[in-house]
Structures are given as C-alpha cells and as structure tokens.
Amino acid sequence: MDRAGSRELYNRRVALQPGTYRLGPADGTLAVRTKRTGPAAKAGHNLVIHITQWEATLAIGADGGASSLALTVDGASLVVKEGLGGMQALGDDDKAGIEQTIHDEILKRQTITYQSTRVELGADGSGFEVEGDLTLNNKTAPLAFAATVDDAGAISAVAVVKQSNWGMKPYSTLWGALKVVDEIELAIDAVLPAPA
C-alpha cells in the first residue's frame, strides 16, 4: 500500500480529526456524580446530577499544531436524575430540595469555566490528555484528566474535582453524620459532531 493509501486508511480508523468541535446538551451528557460518607451514610444517596446547560469547544490542531479545550457551565442548570442507595427512594420533592441547595448555597448560580493549558493527543488518535484551569466558586485551580474517543466518535472522560481545592466545604447534614465525599466526579459521555 502506498503512502496515500496508508494515510486514507489511518484517517478512516481515527475518529478525532483536526478541526473545531462544538458540543452541548444535544450531543451527550455532562454529569456530576457524588458519593456519601459518615456514620449515617446508609441513610443518604449517591447522586447522579445532570448539567442541562453547557458548552464545550475542542480544537484539534492540524499536523501536530496546538490543541485546546474550553468548557462553560451554567451553575443554575443542575438537575438531580438519580439517588442511588439510601434507606428509601429519592422522591421528586427530595430532588427539588437538593437542586435548590446546590443552586442557592453551593454553586450560588455562578458560571463555571474550564480552559486547557495543554492538550496532548494520543499517538493512535483514540483520545487525549488535558491539563488546565477550572474556575469554580470564584477560585481558579488546576485540573487534569484523560479522555477517550472511539472509532464512532463517542467521547468519554471523567475528571475528579476535590471540592476543598476550590474553597468549598462538602455538603453535610445530621450534624455531620451524613456528608458528601470531598472528591466528586465530573463526567462527559457524548458523540462528537462534525468538526468545523
């Protein structure tokens, strides 16, 4: 096979092509996952919370050029989808109460942003590693994670956010007997649209 044929085969196999990808809720799910701890942990729930208003821009440089990732999240757009575990099921009123606490007391309806400082593509085009700065609760701190991209263009990544690194005290109740673990997960599962 000549070089042109090899390049064509390589391009068909690799989903992540140079260009600018713009993603949002129509392309997949951006979720927050929490876990519980404390003596009364069995009474609480591990939460799955969807972010309903977000926008990500992934720019992949051509011929080894610089790549970047930017994310903007509406801090008032979180919706509790599931409560896993617990002594009893999480009802709609419970979910609404949790959402109000998140919006009014934890995130305070502020915009959350992430801007990469380095994006390194995998040699086989199946993903990339990111380093950057997350601005949350009026504080900016570094955050790194890895993402995978399959042959169909499905992108998946999980970033572990330690709340205390952003000056946030993990939520607790029952006089501290039930609380959210400091490390929460921010996860994306989406399908890349065609690049611009």
DSSP the chain: --HHHHHHHHHHH----SEEEEE-GGGEEEEEE--EESTTGGGS-EEEEEE-SEEEEEEE-GGG---EEEEEE-TT-EEEEEEESSSS---HHHHHHHHHHIIIIISTT--EEEEEEEEEE-TTSSEEEEEEEEEETTEEEEEEEEEEE-TT-EEEEEEEEEGGGGT-PPPEEGGGTEEE-SEEEEEEEEE-----
pLDDT of residue 170: 74
Q: What is the pLDDT of residues 60-99, one digit of tens each?
A: 998 767 999 999 999 999 999 987 766 677 788 888 988 8
Q: What fold characterizes domain 3-191?
A: Lipocalin (2.40.128)
Question: How do the domains of the chain map onto residue ranges?
Answer: 3-191
At residue 40, does pLDDT exceed 60?
no
Percent of the chain whose predicted confidence (pLDDT) is above 90: 53
The tokens of 122 are what?
A: 């995998």
